[in-house]
Amino acid sequence: MTKREEVLFLKLKQKNIPFKHVAEVGVYLPQTSNIGAFTKEGIRSTFIEPDPNSIEAINKYFKDMDNVNIHPVAIFDKAGSVELVQRKASTYLKILDSSPAIINDEYTLDDEDTFTVDAVTFNQIDDGSIDLLSIDIEGGEWFVIKHMVSRPLVLSIETHGAMYINPYIDEIKKWMSKNGYIVWYMDSSDTVYIKPGLFNISFLDKLNLFLTNIRLGYKKYRKTIKRKIKKTFRFK
């Protein structure tokens, strides 16, 4: 069975797109990176990750690779410092009222899970050459897109998951429409956008996208009902 993090790589390899610079914001572990397979092929790779433990793992995993550039910072709407909350594999901006951990896991903020890191705006890192960008920062994806210099051929963005919907989904969709991007496919958490004309989206792709939207909607509905039932019996 194909690992989730390999799907984007394998689907794009079939399209024979000559990527020159791939980047990922919110890596977590290098083994689960959305762009790691491209990195191993020698393509210039930029990793942006604020968690010290993840940074150590990324450095170790890609050691001695000249094509790798790692930025141990958070991406935010302004430069300075920012508070993050770490809940298992989910690290998100403390200022957010909605993240997968908050919505899906019903996580309640614990100050022991917070830490402060340096933050920059994405244009301080983005030199305009990125042609594949993956963003997964648990609700803060809009802060990357808002300050992006590049116009990547492919954008993979965490937009949903179970009961969670990205808190900036309207801003993201408006930006994509304004800049001419279209949806190629969706999975359990990400939406992958491409520039029109990059390749033809097949009928099968369109059908799968339609069915995925139905599955996601049904899954969200079921979880909503289950949660309501659970809360009802909890307070009886």
Sign for the CA dihedral angle at 91, 97, 99, 101 comes to positive
When divided into structural domains, the chain yields a total of 2
Residues whose CB is less than 8 angstroms from the CB of residue 18 and which lie 6 or more positions away in sequence, other chains included: none
Clarify whether residues 14 and 88 are in a common domain.
yes
* 57: three-class secondary structure by DSSP: helix
Say whether both 182 and 233 belong to one domain: no
- Rounded mean pLDDT of the chain? 94
Contacts of 151 (CB under 8 A, 6+ apart): 179, 195
pLDDT, one tens digit per residue, over 161-183 is: 999 999 999 999 999 999 999 99
The pTM of the full predicted model, rounded to 2 decimals, is 0.94
Question: Is the domain of 191 the same as that of 75?
Answer: yes
Rg over alpha carbons for the chain, rounded to the nearest Å, is 18
Identify whether residues 169 and 142 lie together within a single domain: yes
Read off the pLDDT of each residue in 117-139 and give the average, rounded to a whole number.
97
Measure the CA–CA gap between 28 and 61, rounded to whole angstroms: 12
Q: How confident is the model at residue 235 (pLDDT cuts 50, 70, 90)?
A: low
Q: Check whether 231 has a pLDDT greater than 80.
A: no
pLDDT at 234: 65
> Do residues 119 and 211 share a domain?
no
Strand-strand pairing, 114-120 and 132-135: unpaired
- Domain span holding position 209: 203-236
Kindly state whether residues 142 and 217 are assigned to the same domain: no
Same domain, 189 and 232: no
Distances (CA, A) of 202 to 15, 68, 205, 218: 12, 34, 5, 25
**pLDDT tens sequence across 10-35:** 999 999 999 999 999 999 999 999 99
Q: What is the CATH number of the domain that holds 141?
A: 3.40.50.150
Whether residue 33 sits in one domain with residue 134: yes
Average pLDDT of 204-210?
Answer: 96
pLDDT in tens, 96-112: 999 999 999 999 999 99
Which residues of the chain form beta strands (DSSP E)?
Answer: 21-25, 44-48, 68-71, 74-75, 80-87, 90-93, 114-120, 132-135, 154-158, 160-161, 164-165, 182-186, 190-194
What pLDDT is recorded for position 195?
A: 96
Indicate if the pLDDT at residue 236 is higher than 70: no
Residue 12: beta bridge partners? none
Same domain? For 164 and 106 the reply is yes
- Could you report the per-residue pLDDT of 139-149, keeping only the tens digit for each? 999 999 999 99
Q: Do 105 and 171 fall within a single domain?
A: yes
Is 93 in the same domain as 208? no
